[in-house]
Amino acid sequence: MKKIYYLKTCDTCKKIIKSLPNTDGFILQDIKEEPITVKQLEEMHALTGSYEKLFSKRAKLYKERGMKDMNLTENDFKQYILEHYTFLSRPVIITNDKIFVGNSPKNVTAAIEYLSNE
C-alpha cells in the first residue's frame, strides 16, 4: 500500500508532499473530507506499535481541552484520533511496510531518503 493521510488545507502537509520523490501511485486521503476508519487507524498502529505515536499533541483541541494534564491511555489516543481529524499527527506516509508520521524535519528527511531509494 502506498498512501498519504494529510489535510489539503495544511500548507505544511502540501509542502512536504511536494518535496517527496517517487510519489506516483500513492493514494492521497484528505482526512477532513474522508475521515480515517478504524481499520485504517489499526493498520497505522500495526506499523508504529503505538496510538500515541500517531497522536498530535500540537493540536489546538489538545490544548483547549487541557489534555496534557490528563493521563491518557493507548485506547484514549485511538478514540480521540477517530473522534476528530486534528488529533492525527500529519502527514502520515505509508509505503509498503514503512510508515512516517508527522512533520518533524528528521521524519521528513527519512521519508525523502526512503522514497528516493525505492
pLDDT tens-digit map of 6-46: 999 999 999 999 999 999 999 999 999 999 999 999 999 99
Considering the entire predicted model, what is its pTM?
0.94
Per-residue pLDDT reduced to its tens digit, 40-86: 999 999 999 999 999 999 999 999 999 989 999 999 999 999 999 99
Higher pLDDT residue, 68 or 113? 113
Q: Quick one: average pLDDT of 101-109?
A: 97
Instruction: Say what the pLDDT of residue 1 is.
Output: 85
What is the C-alpha separation between 23 and 55, in angstroms, rounded? 24
**HSE-CB of 98 using CA atoms within 13 angstroms:** 11
Res. 118: pLDDT tops 90:
no
